[in-house]
Amino acid sequence: MENDLHIDQHISQRFNEELEDLRSKVLEMGGLVEQQVMDGTDALVNGDAELGAKVVERDTQVNAMEVAMDESCVEIIARRQPTASDLRLIVSIIKTITDLERIGDQAEKLGAFAVQLSDKGVSADKYSNLENISSKALAVLRKALDAFARMDHEAALEAAKMDEKVDQEYEAILRQVMTYMMEDPREIKKAMRVLWAARALERIGDHAKNISEYVVYLVKGKDIRHLDSLPEAKSL
Amino acid sequence: MSNNTDQQNTDLDQLVGETTGTPFLPDEKVKMSARNVDVFYADKQAIFDNSLDIGKNEVLAMIGPSGCGKSTFLRTLNRMNDTIPICRITGEIKLDDENIYGKDIDPVLLRARVGMVFQKPNPFPKSIYDNVAYGPRLHGLARNKADLDEIVVTSLKRAGLFDEVKDRLDASGTGLSGGQQQRLCIARTIAVSPEVILMDEPASALDPIATAIIEELIDELRQNFTIAIVTHSMQQAARVSQRTAYFHLGKLVEVGETNQIFTNPAHQLTENYITGRFG
Amino acid sequence: MNNTEQIKRSLKKRYAKERRFRLYGLTAIVVSFLFLFTLLADITLKAIPAFTQAWVQLDVSFESDTLGLDNVNEQTINEGKFRKAVKSSTYNLFPDVSKRKQKKELSALVSGGAQYQIRDQLLDNPEWLGTTQTVWVKADDQLDVWLESDGELGKISEQQEQWIAALQEQDRIKRSFNTTLFTAGDSREPEQAGILGALVGSLLTLAVTLVLSITVGVATAIYLEIFAPQNRFTDFIEININNLAAVPSIIFGLLGLAIFISLFGVPRSTPLVGGLVLSLMTLPTIIVSSRAALKSVPPSLMEAALGLGASKMQAVFQHALPLAMPGILTGAIIGMAQALGETAPLLMIGMVAFIVDVPSGVLDAATVLPVQIYLWADSPERAFTAMTAAGILILLVFLVAMNSLAIVLRKRFERRW
């Protein structure tokens, strides 16, 4: 496989294990964060305060994982002085877990909204569009994590591209919510909450996009962030 | 060339292929250039068809596993290999557009232009002053004692050693610490005002502090000299050099900006070596 | 773990082995010391008599008539009848002796060299002419030996014993330090024989050897070690040099005889030809040790010099050679010590000749210490036994002095690198 980083081929077996361990932990964290986003969306859409509370509670787990992995990365840098692909792997992981943690924060926000909304005895079921944007954002996240797991820069580029859909969805929700607010000013408060939720999901999409960009850097050694047009990156 | 060497050549071609990266520089930047250099020890080939430019005022680091020919290649640059009778060199090496293996080139003069610092600090068992003054005296670079004094002091200052030894220039050079000895050797080399300095693992026998001082010194020397350094420490290559060349089994595998080599090498062999993988 | 037990048990054995080995070594050293001590003690004891000399006091009349001399100067002095003067003054010791045979025995108590001694004394003190002086002259070697051995050795007749006793009563016999041993050349008469001739001969021969073998040897070593290409020819030379070191020394003597003396006409028995032959013999030693010394100089220093733009010769002479000097000197010491003790090759080139004069240059006939010892050991006179031992002692002292000098020189050359 061309893009295989051969992280199991170091002369130092311990180094192999450390890197492999770190990589699987990133995927584990990714899985947890994905679950958080799904549950947060579900709680919000279904007005499930209990699930919302659970999401909020579980965010501490996400935070703990980030801290632990940060430490492992620092240790590896200090002790192994990684270079080339190893260095890129460590740097990507440090950045990836930061973004994953932010995604976790957004998911927590979703859960918190769900709790607040259900306190008021309302659900966001009217805004089924939230489910749409959520599934799109989740798709970006899944694709990015998948690309990371398989070191597949093409999949990563696709994921980055998919984020545009999330942004479009957000625009749509924004317009829809504005319409609601104009129709019924009493709904503004609730509408704002929904908007914030949508905003959170849009941010999740952005973070997922960042992760996919790190994957491209990891595999190809090229930084494609903040490039205006992706086609340039496609030349890879 | 024996069949054995031919076979070796073919295997290498398959494994390495053409040198990747940027071995060549724009003409105006080139200080030394090697083209298609082969080195043989008797029937055994040690260097295979290597071409490489060394830029003005740059530090070029040569890295690679033991026996990869990096030291041999370094030594071809000031004809130190001439002292080994069984050593044969083909190809062309130029210093400022002048073939250093040309008939009209005197290796003694060449070595005054292309100085060398060795792996083990090797000061002469003489005083610090005499160590530094040796080269200038040899080549008659100083007109009088005052001249010589100035050369010695300037060289020691440039090598960052003057403040430590200014009170005991008459003391033996071998009585200094390892790091000081190596700086003395550097002072001794720059006292002849060479254009290029070759360093063969200059810090491999030193502790980290002494190493850091030498590395800092290398960085300063770059302003006046062109430096080619062979090192076993990849971190050192990463720290001191602008360009890095990776050798494998006598073949130049990859040359590139040091930043690029250490973050994103193009050749799998380079990657394997600098990340400590089997390869 | 029972591993520890096992190791413990084997340790005991190993330590016992080690102790035993140390004991063997110690024994070997003690035994060799005993041998050396016995040898030295024996030689020293035997040599003691040679360092003393018996003297007899005579009242010599330097009358012009008896000597047949009118005045004293360098030309006429040899015409003086000093032999007669000595004889008559000896007879005067015991005026009652009249028989011819007894007279002969009496005059035998005084060294045959006494006449030359008083001649020289008169030459130094011309005013003695016409007077009678009391002078000490050397006793005959038989008397000397007899005195030293408390009457056990030496051919002394009963009559002579009585005379000696009488003389001793008159304090006319004394013993003093034998300076002749260090100031005279060889002689058939033990009391007149000295080692100076051989000592100077040895010095001159060694000087020739040293100059020749060090210059040629070191030059050869430098060429072979540093400049010579590695090929069959140099290999051949190298093997031959190593083999030369094992060639019996008498062969070199034959070679010297055939080449230096017969072919080139170098005068025989001279320190020059001796030095030439001994150089041939020491060359392999010096070449081999010089090469080893040059090889042991860190190549990094040569490289440093070459890297600075020194030529190969500059690198060698400014760096390699000074550092190799201690090693080269060690080789030279060994070679010189060998040369100093060598006899066989010198026999072949005539240095075994009986030579009375102290040589004054490398072209004078000379002998050397070991040959002198050999000659004395071969002489029949009893007193030469002690002289032989004394010669050996002097040779040993000479050797030790030479080696100490070399060690001092080496220490001075030795530098840290």
> pLDDT tens for residues A42-77?
888 887 888 888 989 999 999 999 999 999 999 888
Higher model confidence: residue A236 or residue B1? A236
Between strands B98-99 and B87-95, the pairing is antiparallel
Inside any domain, residue C261: yes
DSSP SS3 for C136:
strand
pLDDT at B220 over 80: yes
Question: Which residues in B lie closer than 8 A to residue A11 (C-beta atoms)?
Answer: 276-278
Per-residue pLDDT for B2 more than 50?
Answer: no
Chain A interface test: which of B241, B246, B275 (most A C-beta within 10 Å): B275
Is A228 a residue whose pLDDT tops 60? no
- Using the predicted structure, report yes or no on whether residue A123 has a pLDDT greater than 60: no
Query: Residues C206, C352: one domain?
Result: yes
Residues of chain B neighbouring A12 (CB-CB closer than 8 A): 276
Tokens of residue A111, six digits:
């859960």
Q: Pick C309's closest partner by Cβ from B118, B123, B192.
A: B192
What is the SS3 string spanning B106-167? CHHHHHHHEEEECCCCCCCCCEHHHHHHHHHHHHCCCCCHHHHHHHHHHHHHHCCCHHHHCC
CB contact under 8 Å between B275 and A85, yes or no, is yes
**C133 in a domain, yes or no?**
yes
C273, C260 contact by CB (below 8 A): yes
Could you tell me where the DSSP H helices lie in A47-152? 49-80, 84-119, 129-150
B26 touching chain A per CB within 8 A: no
- Asked if B90 and B38 count as a contact pair (C-beta separation under 8 A), the reply is yes
C298 neighbourhood in chain B, CB within 8 Å: 122
Query: What single-letter amino acid sits at A91?
Result: V
Best of B80, B106, B118, B124 to mutate (most C CBs within 10 Å, chain C)? B124
Rounded CA gap, B53 and B166, in Å? 39
Beta strands in chain B (DSSP E): 20-21, 30-41, 44-55, 59-63, 87-95, 98-99, 114-117, 196-200, 226-230, 243-248, 251-257
Q: Are C62 and C159 in a shared domain?
A: yes
B277 at the A interface (CB within 8 A)? yes
- Checking if the pLDDT of B219 tops 70, the result is yes
B278/A9 CB distance under 8 A: yes
- pLDDT at position B6: 62
- Residue spans of alpha helices (H) in C48-157: 64-67, 82-93, 100-107, 114-124, 141-148
In chain B, what residues touch C416 (CB-CB under 8 Å)? 125, 172, 174
Q: What average pLDDT is seen over chain B?
A: 86
C135 bridge partner residues: C58
> Per the structure block, which two tokens stand in for C85?
């003067």
| Topology of domain A13-227, CATH | Methane Monooxygenase Hydroxylase; Chain G, domain 1 (1.20.58)
- Kindly state the average pLDDT of the residues B189-210: 87
Give C-chain residues touching B124 at CB under 8 angstroms.
301, 304-305, 319
> Looking at the 3D structure of chain C, how many domains does it have?
3
Q: C190 lies in a domain?
A: no
Q: How far is CA B41 from the centre of its chain?
A: 20
Sheet holding B44-55, edge to edge: B44-55, B30-41, B87-95, B98-99
Residue B42 lies in a domain: yes
Q: What is the pLDDT of residue A96?
A: 92
Say yes or no: C321 and C204 in one domain.
yes
Domain CATH for B27: 3.40.50.300
Q: Are residue C387 and residue C247 in the same domain, yes or no?
A: yes
User: Which residue ranges of chain C lie beneath pLDDT 70?
Assistant: 1, 415-417
Residues C234 and C360 in one domain: yes
Is C56 within a domain?
yes
C34: containing domain:
2-48
| Selection from A177-191, B9-23, B103-117 with the highest mean pLDDT | B103-117
- The answer to whether the Cβ–Cβ distance between C307 and B138 falls below 8 Å is no
pLDDT band at A126 (very low <50, low <70, confident <90, very high): low
C223/C131 same-domain check: no
Clarify whether residues C81 and C150 are in a common domain.
yes
Residue located via tokens 């569009």: A129
* pLDDT, mean of residues B66-94: 86
Q: Domain boundary residue among C151, C184, C217?
A: C184
Distance CA A62, CA B233 (A): 39
Chains A and B share 3 or more Cβ pairs within 8 Å: yes
Backbone angles phi, psi at C134, to 5 degrees: -90, 120
pLDDT value of residue A229: 53
Residues in chain B closer than 8 A to A15 (CB atoms): 276
B276 vs A81: CB contact, 8 Å cut-off?
no
Same-domain pairing of C33 and C86: no
- Residue B9 pLDDT: 65
Chains A and C touch (3+ CB pairs under 8 A): no
pLDDT at position B234 = 86
Q: Are residues C108 and C211 in the same domain?
A: no
Q: Which residues of C touch B108 (CB under 8 A)?
A: 309-311
What are the angstrom distances between the C-alpha of A53 and each of A33, A49, A94, A114? 15, 6, 28, 8
Chains contacting A (3+ CB pairs below 8 angstroms) = B
Residue with tokens 């055939």: C258
Query: Which run of H or E residues covers position C200?
Result: helix C196-222
Phi-psi category of residue C269: left, alpha or beta, with phi > 0 → left and psi -120 to 50 → alpha: left
Residue at a domain's end among C157, C184, C211: C184
Chain A residues touching residue B264 (CB < 8 angstroms): 84, 88, 220-222
C-alpha dist (Å) from residue A175 to A113, A123, A195 = 20, 20, 10
CATH code of the domain covering residue C347: 1.10.3720.10
pLDDT for the residue B242 = 92
Domain count, chain B: 1
**What is the pLDDT confidence band of residue B7, given thresholds at 50, 70 and 90?**
low
Q: What is the DSSP string of C12-47?
A: HHHHHHHHHHHHHHHHHHHHHHHHHHHHHHHHHHHH
In a domain, residue C191? The reply is no
C-alpha A130/C-alpha A127 separation (Å) is 6
Closest CA to B274 of B227, B238, B230: B238
B259 touches chain A (CB under 8 A): no
| Nearest chain B residue to A6, by CA | B277
CB within 8 Å of A38: residues ≥ 6 apart: A134, A138
Q: Which of residues 112-131 of B touch C (CB under 8 A)?
A: 112, 115-118, 120, 122-125
Say if residue C237 is in the same domain as residue C332.
Answer: yes
Mutate to test the interface with B, among A11, A12, A15, A83 (most CBs of B within 10 A): A83
The answer to whether residue A1 scores a pLDDT higher than 50 is no
Q: Does B71 or A4 have the greater pLDDT score? A: B71
Task: State how far the Cα of A185 lies from the Cα of A192, in Å rounded to an integer.
Answer: 11
Residue C308: which of B83, B86, B134 has the nearest Cβ?
B134
User: What integer pLDDT is reported at residue C300 of this predicted model?
Assistant: 84
CA distance A67 to chain B (A): 25
pLDDT single digits (tens) C144-198: 888 887 777 777 888 888 888 888 888 888 888 888 888 888 888 888 888 888 8
Would you say residue B279 lies in a domain? Answer: no
Tell me the chain A residues in contact with residue B278 when contact means C-beta distances shorter than 8 Å.
9-11
One domain for residues C203 and C273: yes
Cross-chain residue pair B276–A11, CB shorter than 8 Å: yes
pLDDT per residue as tens digits for the range B127-152: 899 999 998 988 888 888 888 999 99
Q: Higher pLDDT residue, B278 or A218? A: A218
Range of the domain at B203: 3-274
State whether B80 and C310 contact (CB < 8 Å): no
More confident of the two residues A30 and A123: A30
How far is Cα A6 from Cα A19, in angstroms, rounded to an integer? Answer: 11
Q: Domain residue spans in chain A?
A: 13-227
